[in-house]
Structures are given as C-alpha cells and as structure tokens.
Amino acid sequence: MATVRLGDIAPDFEAETSQGKIEFHQWLGDSWGILFSHPADFTPVCTTELGTAALYYPEFKKRNVKVIALSVDGVDSHMEWIKDINETQNTTVDFPIIADEGKHIAELYDMIHPNASESFTVRSVFIIGPDKKIKLTLTYPASTGRNFDELLRVIDSLQLTANYSVATPANWKDGDSVVISPAVKDEDIPTKFPKGYERVKPYLRMTPQPNK
C-alpha cells in the first residue's frame, strides 16, 4: 500500500459523491483542498465532525479551500446521513461526501491502518495546495474527533508561508508575529519586512505578520 507523504502529488481519482461524479484534480481546480475521511456513515463522532465542517464552511471558502469528505459507504447512505447531520447539528452540509464502498480511495491515500482497524478508515486529513501537492497530513484514531480550529490555523500558516519567507512559531494564530526564514540575510530584512523585526538570536528573528 502506498504512503502519501508531504510534497507528493495528491493521487487523482474519479468517484461518485453526494453531489455527483467528480474527477478530483479537476474538481479542485486552482483552489486549496481539504480531504478528510470518516470510519463509516451514521457514526456519532463523524456526525459531529461533518456538522462542524459545515458550520466552518464559510471560513474555508474565505480562504479559497474546497472541502470534501470520504466514507466507505455508498451515496444513498450518505444522502440519508446528511439529513441526520443537518437535523442534529443545526446546519446544512453543502460540500460533497465521497462514496468509497470498494475502499479504493482509502487505500490510495493509506487511510486504512490494519493495526487500528481492518475495515474502517482512520480519521485522516490531507490539505492539498493549488499545485496539487500534499501540504499537511494529520491522522487521528477513530475515537477522537478533529479540531477544526486547528485545521483553519494550519491553513492560515500554510498560505502565509507559501507567499512570504517566514515560518510560524508554536501556538501561532493569524495576526501573531512570525519567524523570519534563516535563508533571509540580516541586510535584506528591512526591504523584505518593512514593519521591523526583533533579533532574539542570530537564528531567531521575529517580525509582525507581513500580510496584516
């Protein structure tokens, strides 16, 4: 079974979803994407997760991120489950859920970890850039629901660091100061970062977030 690693091109696929058939790369277009898997339909933690993803959907759209989920059940099951999600989570699921009854996509993305479960996908998360490359992976056990605030935080970091010569420090949130890349020479900092900077150590230089 292949392992999908950071920097790899996200495997392309065709699939039936709750919103019709898609070709994954074509569906992504020039957007960022977040693909996350669920052990099965009509499971309690997944129901709260998909409801939360729907509530956060405007925030993802604001960041040019398309959201798509996957479960190893079929489209008809997904459609019935979406009714439950909308009812119990007081929201509207308006992103597609992939039907992966044959587990082909789960295997393509290494979402089934046999030592955890022979048949169910773990809670995998893949953030994919407009270049179709994997920018982040997260794997949770089936018993632990995801933190969507953290997913938004890492998307903000990924989009910031893709455009500026910076990295984000521990517990960084949008609007906080950032670390200047070691590749940037001291003499080039005033031009690149006109807001100024603090030289904590020669290798640790902080500057206000450049796009704020």
Q: How many CB atoms lie within 10 A of CB 180?
A: 25
Please pick, among 15, 28, 35, 46, the residue that the annotation labels catalytic: 46
Evaluate whether 162 touches 131 at the Cβ level (below 8 Å): no
Q: Examine the residue annotation and report whether 46 is marked as an active-site residue of this protein.
A: yes
Sheet holding 204-207, edge to edge: 166-167, 178-180, 204-207, 198-201
Evaluate whether 98 touches 126 at the Cβ level (below 8 Å): no
**Residue type for position 44:** P
- The catalytic residue positions are 46
